[in-house]
Amino acid sequence: MHKPSNALGVARDRRPSQPVTLVRPHAATRAAEFFAQKFPGTSMYAVKANPSPDLIRLLWDGGITHYDVASITEVRLVRSLLPEAVLCFMHPVKPAEAIAEAYHVHGVRTFSLDSVEEVEKIVEVTATDGVPATDLTLCVRLRVSSAHSKLSLAAKFGVGVDEAAPVLHAARQAADALGICFHVGSQAMSPQAYSDAMGLVRAAIVSAGVTVDVIDVGGGFPSIYPGMETAPIERYFAVIHRAFEDLPISYSAELWCEPGRALSAEYASIVVRVEKRRDDVLFINDGAYGALFDAAHVDWRFPVDLVRDVESNTKKLAFSFYGPTCDDADFMRGPFMLPADIRAGDYIEIGMLGAYGCAMRTAFNGFGNGETLVADDEPMASNYTVTEPSREVVTSIREARS
């Protein structure tokens, strides 16, 4: 890391030939404080969105005490960084060896699952000298719709409502605390996604006749991207809270969520150089095998800005991008709206890449990432405002942990 900077300073002073990542610690801390203060329950960071050690520590400092880990590598990472953090192993299908290490070595007590077989696996490998564990929190992953979300997460995991009763019964017998979790998909564009899912949760509880101690509404909270303007996040929280209060659950039941994108998207952007222009296509030095995986593979639209000392006064046109590799698939179809006079040698800042962009990078074809610098300006878009009086909440969280 180097002294605070911004995209214009990078382009003007460094003229970099490699992509430069700009990270904004203040944006990550603000997002963490927002969730810690305003979500009506416990927020856990979904580490897969961006496993940066610096980011994980920033979120902890902002009041995030729980972490959704999906692999034993993520378990080891977060435990090494934050010895006191609560880790929840929320991948529904896990190797037995990973479960055993997570439980016996790293103190993980919460596991998700979506089948009786997974319950049995967890019970077997968390036992000590043949004696079953008595401190497990088991969260049954329910399959819900992703109809309101930009990216579906409805196919791979989850048990349907009509088939959930046997899994809930098995988990209830093995668990000290029984939970139900779900995921409405990434970038949920309407709070209705959560109210619809909570309706399925109610049906599953009534059908199984079990006492439930945890409701985990997963992630999906939206960030601001071009063409993806949504309701304020507080409205999502209000819908979730009302639905939670109406469920037939234990009087002391806990409400959890698993934001990934919402906590990390604003943390990072990249500054790229235009190597060539061919009509409405720009050849840039990052792409599908770098931080722009989602732009290439799921047509995600990230905010872009031409970085020049003197702003262009030409109208904006729709551009597409080619990345630096030799692969035709290294293509990001627009529209990315940029001034009509953009040319080779110009620099572009591409925003909202703290979620998944940094995490998906490869070194394919020998192209990698350049420097990472700290920026002190604002990200291109922000969902969050934190009022000064409410910072007392975060202060009390920190004091309670110290």
Q: What are the pLDDT digits (tens) for 242-285?
A: 999 999 998 899 999 999 999 999 999 999 999 999 999 999 99
Task: Pick the closest to residue 346 from 309, 382, 389 (CA basis).
Answer: 309
Residue 53's pLDDT band, with cuts at 50, 70 and 90, is very high
- Specify the range with the lowest mean pLDDT, choosing from 4-8, 10-14, 26-30, 333-337: 4-8
- Specify the range with the lowest mean pLDDT, choosing from 77-86, 235-244, 375-384: 375-384
Residue 283 lies in a domain: yes
With beta carbons less than 8 A apart as the criterion, state whether 286 and 19 touch: yes
Residues 194 and 331 in one domain: no
Q: How far apart are CA 113 and CA 335, in angstroms?
A: 40
Residues 125 and 210 in one domain: yes
Task: Pick the closest to residue 5 from 24, 18, 30 (CA basis).
Answer: 24
Say which residue, 281 or 188, is predicted with more confidence. 281
Residue 393's pLDDT band, with cuts at 50, 70 and 90, is very low
Residue 167 lies in a domain: yes
At 391 the pLDDT is 43
Residue 180 lies in a domain: yes
At 60 the pLDDT is 98
Residues 122 and 253 in one domain: yes
Q: Mean pLDDT, to the nearest integer, of 171-186?
A: 95
- Please report, to the nearest 10 degrees, the dihedral formed by the alpha carbons of residues 29, 30, 36, 39 taken in order: -140
Residue 147 lies in a domain: yes
Residue 145's pLDDT band, with cuts at 50, 70 and 90, is confident
Residues 285 and 227 in one domain: no
CB-based contacts of 52, cutoff 8 Å, min separation 6: 23, 267, 358
- What is the CB-side half-sphere exposure of residue 399 using CA atoms within 13 A? 6
At 402 the pLDDT is 41
Residue 387 lies in a domain: no
Residue with tokens 């405002």, as numbered in its chain = 385
Asked, as a colleague might, if the bond just before 335 is cis with ω within 30 of 0, I would say yes
Enumerate the β-bridge partners of residue 336.
319
Mean of all residue pLDDT scores within the chain: 91
- CB environment 375-392: b (16+ within 10 A), e (fewer): bebebbbbbbebeeeeee
At 384 the pLDDT is 74
Does residue 387 register a pLDDT over 60?
no
Residue 121 lies in a domain: yes
CATH of the domain at 350: 2.40.37.10
Residues 244 and 329 in one domain: no
User: What number of other Cβ atoms are within 10 A of residue 194's Cβ?
Assistant: 27
Task: Pick the closest to residue 166 from 204, 197, 199, 132 (CA basis).
Answer: 204
Residue 159 lies in a domain: yes
Residue where one domain finishes, among candidates 264, 279, 310: 264
Domain span at residue 248?
27-264
Q: Mean pLDDT, to the nearest integer, of 343-364?
A: 90
What's the domain count of the chain? 2
With beta carbons less than 8 A apart as the criterion, state whether 67 and 84 touch: no
Residue range 74-95, pLDDT digits in tens: 999 999 999 999 999 999 999 9
Residues 103 and 184 in one domain: yes
At 382 the pLDDT is 73
Residue where one domain finishes, among candidates 209, 240, 264: 264
Residue 155 lies in a domain: yes
Q: How far apart are CA 299 and CA 289, in angstroms?
A: 14
